[in-house]
Amino acid sequence: MTFAEALGLIMLLSMVAVIFIGFPISFTLLFLALVFGGLGLGWEQTFNLAYLQIWGAMKDEIFPAVPLFIFMGYMTEQAGLMERLFGALRSLLAPVRGSLYLAVILTATVFAMATGIVGAAVTVLGIMAAPMMIKSGYDARLSAGAIAAGGTLGILIPPSVMLVVMGPTIGVPVNLLYSAAFGPGFLLAGCYVVYTLSRSFVNPRLGPPMTMDERKSAHDAMTTEKVGAPVVGLGLACLVVMVYLAADWLLSQAGIPRLAVTVGKLGVSAGASVPALMVAYPYFRNAYFRAVVLGIAPLSALIGFTLGTIVGGLATPTEAASCGAFGAALLALLYGRLSMKSATNAAIGTMVTSAMVLFLAVASTVFGAVFTKLGSANLITNYLLAVPLTDWWKLALIMVIFFVLGWPFEWPVIILVFLPIVLPVVEKLQLGLGKLDLLIWFGALTAVTMQTSYLSPPVAMSAYYLRNVVPQWSLSLIYKGMADYMVIQVFVLIVLLLYPQIALWLPNVVR
């Protein structure tokens, strides 16, 4: 081991120790990189390396998508779209045992596709759902776990900001990573649903169905809200378009001629939607049906068109994110929630979160570059390759390491510092997959592991987000509730390890 390699290992251990003490991660990474780089490489080379890394990171065309997706998430939150979605699902599912668990998880899953911000999702869900759960006599431990675990789906399900940053790091197009994350994300959400409903059916006291008074209150809250004609028209148009596209796709899969008529280069039929409008309009005269559609259809259409263009390769993440941000602002305007206060709150939240993510990304990139230049990264890589384990167990070991690292570190540190260290090891694993499929699968595994770390003590940021808005639940109770869902997440991770096609089937379709 050379002096430079030993210095790099000391730098890595110092980072862990200093962060555990409580120093800010970004400044710690940058300070240690400059100091240890100056000692091992020389001050001039270190500053030149830091300058090139910062300039290269800021020139990356993927990074502008980060603040745009964050703004889209904050704007949908300010527009009250999450509350509207939760209200629609709560009213629809009222007679079902555990209906509030189901409404929370489904709302979190849909809202995860509108924002990759875990803190916002957990906070809003806590404010909306927790008082209802407490009033309805739902089990506090199971309720806290459902809100905390559901809120963390935003880090996994696209448009996850983490996947945007991970793509260039492992050399995989973002649209393929997004495609790979849908399978594990929906599988995880499905397991949450099965777990909460099964426990509610076995023991009805854990999640009783809503009483008739509660159902009437939910119905009145939805149907008495006044909305303008533009909103009704928007909801009707979104419903018709979604039904039309779904029917078109299903018929094409069945071998039946498609509904769409090619007009020039556009596969659009101008007249085909007229019968659909005639069928849908009478239902829209029903206040309850209209309220449910207005709570679900516009947000679903925004998500579908934003993510659909990315996954289908029709637009880059930055282009789709800009359209999504504009669409979220437009929805807020149509719903009458776009005010100077809401726009200011969304802008401030976007700036604060974007600054944190991007500064952390820059600091991690500089730290990783110095660490690699010292030769310590190659040293760790060689040690991992020499571990007397099969390739499958090496991959499992890497996931365990990432899981443990997720306790003290934010995901940018793991993605930008530790991921490049183990990437050469992953690329040499012989697991019966092509190189691109292997990297896509590895990216999905890493994303699931990072999502799990949000629920693992001692940090477990989701617990603190929830505790701030629901003071009736103690931190220990929230931790106990999250522990049940952590078991589910580990189960899904194992299933994903055993069956890679869960993550690979959609990327193979869109490639």
Rounded distance between C-alpha atoms, residue 140 and residue 318, angstroms: 41
Asked if residue 200 lies in contact with residue 139, where contact means CB atoms within 8 angstroms, the answer is no
Segment 127-153, tens digit of pLDDT: 888 888 888 888 889 998 898 888 888
Over the range 138-161, which residues count as b (16 or more CB within 10 Å of their CB) and which as e? bbbbbbbbbbbbbbbbbbbbbbbb
Lowest mean pLDDT among 249-263, 295-309, 376-390: 249-263
Residue 447 and residue 181 in contact, taking contact as beta carbons nearer than 8 Å: yes
Which residues are registered as beta bridge partners of 266?
263
Q: Within 13 A of 154's CA, how many CA atoms are on the CB side?
A: 27
| pTM confidence score | 0.80
Q: Which of 2, 7, 12, 131 is nearest to 413 (CA)?
A: 12
- Could you tell me the pLDDT band of residue 477, with boundaries at 50, 70 and 90? confident
User: Is it the case that residue 442 has pLDDT exceeding 90?
Assistant: yes
Q: For residues 14 and 453, which has the higher predicted lDDT (pLDDT)? A: 14
CA–centroid distance for 359 within its chain: 20
Confidence at residue 282, expressed as pLDDT on a 0 to 100 scale: 60
CA atoms lying within 13 Å on the CB side of residue 304: 13
pLDDT tens-digit series, residues 68-107 = 888 888 888 777 777 777 877 887 787 888 888 988 898 8
pLDDT of residue 495: 93
| 436 vs 270 pLDDT, higher one | 436
Distance, CA of 207 to CA of 200 (rounded, Å): 5
Q: Output the pLDDT for position 267.
A: 42
Mean pLDDT across 398-402: 88
Burial class (CB in 10 A: 0-12, 13-18, 19+), 413: buried
| pLDDT for position 261 | 41
Sequence-distant (≥ 6) Cβ neighbours of residue 414 within 8 angstroms: 402, 405, 406, 450
pLDDT in tens, 56-70: 777 777 778 888 888
Residue 375 in tokens: 């030769």
Residue 200 has pLDDT above 70, yes or no: yes
Q: Residue 121 pLDDT > 80, yes or no?
A: no
Can you tell me the distance from the alpha carbon of 383 to that of 387, in angstroms, rounded to the nearest whole number? 6
**How large is the greatest C-alpha to C-alpha distance in the chain, in angstroms?**
78
- Residue 26 φ/ψ, nearest 5 degrees: -60, -50
274, pLDDT greater than 60: no
pLDDT at res. 73: 80
Helix (H) or strand (E) holding 266: strand 266-267
Neighbours of 45 (CB within 10 A): 14
pLDDT score of 260 more than 60? no
Q: What is the mean pLDDT of residues 183-195?
A: 92
> What three-state secondary structure class fits 260?
coil
CB distance 36 to 4 below 8 Å: no
Q: What is the C-alpha separation between 187 and 192, in angstroms, rounded?
A: 9
Q: How many CB atoms are closer than 10 A to CB 96? A: 17
The per-residue pLDDT of the chain, averaged, comes to 79
Per-residue pLDDT averaged across 357-366, rounded?
82
Classify the C-alpha dihedral 289-293-295-296 as positive or negative: positive
Whole-number percent of the chain with pLDDT over 90: 8
Q: Give the pLDDT of residue 264.
A: 39
Question: Given pLDDT bands bounded at 50, 70 and 90, which one contains residue 385?
Answer: confident
Type of residue at 112: A
According to the model, what pLDDT value does residue 325 have?
86
Ramachandran category for residue 69: left, alpha or beta (phi over 0 → left; psi -120 to 50 → alpha): alpha
Mean pLDDT on 309-326: 82
pLDDT above 50 (res 160)? yes
Q: Nearest-5° angle of CA 474, CA 480, CA 481?
A: 90
Alpha-helical segments (H) within 98-227? 99-112, 118-135, 140-151, 161-170, 174-202, 212-223
Q: How far is Cα 305 from Cα 245, in angstroms, rounded to an integer?
A: 11
Confidence bin at 439 (pLDDT 50/70/90) = very high
